[in-house]
Amino acid sequence: MLHDGPAKWLLVSAVLEILASSLLGYVMLIPMQPWGRGLREKWPSAKGLMSVHLDMIMLAMMQAIAALAMAALPGAHDGLIAVLLVSSGWLNVTPYAWRLVGVNAFAFAGRPLQQFAALLSFAGTVALTGGWAGLLVGWI
C-alpha cells in the first residue's frame, strides 16, 4: 500500500525532486527577462541548468514508477531498494551540478575535488542500477 513504507519514501522523494526542478525553472527564466539581463553573465548557462532540470524530472519519474511497482508487486527487500533509488535520485544529478561550477564529475581524474565528485556520480549510478536490479530480482 502507498500510505506507508518504502513506496511512500519513493513518492515523497519524487515529489521533492519535481519541486526542486520546478524551482530551478525560475532560476533559468529570470536571466532571460529584460530586467534580469545582468544575471546572464553571473549565473550558470541555461543549457547547463537545463541538464540538471531534466535529469531531476527523469529521476523523479523513475522513483514514482518504482513506488507504483512496489505497491503492485511488494517484495521482501523493498526498503533497501527504496533507499538505493532515493539515494540515486539525488546523487545522479550531481555530475551536471558539478559541471556548472567547472568540475568534470564524469571522469575519475584530476584533483581530489574532481575525484570526489566522480565518486559521488559513480555511487549514484551503482545505487540506481542496484535498485532496479533488486526490484526485478525480487519478482523473479
Tell whether 72 is covered by a domain. yes
Residue 130 banded pLDDT, cuts 50, 70, 90: very high
Structural domain boundaries enclosing 78: 6-139
Tell whether 114 is covered by a domain. yes
Tell whether 62 is covered by a domain. yes
Q: What is the pLDDT of residue 104?
A: 95
Tell whether 20 is covered by a domain. yes
The predicted model scores a pTM of 0.89
Angle 6-29/78-91 helices, nearest 10 degrees? 10
Model confidence pLDDT, tens digit, residues 49-68: 999 999 999 999 999 999 99
CB 48 within 8 A of CB 77: no
Provide the number of structural domains found in the chain: 1
Tell whether 95 is covered by a domain. yes
DSSP 8-state symbol, 4:
S
Tell whether 32 is covered by a domain. yes
Tell whether 1 is covered by a domain. no
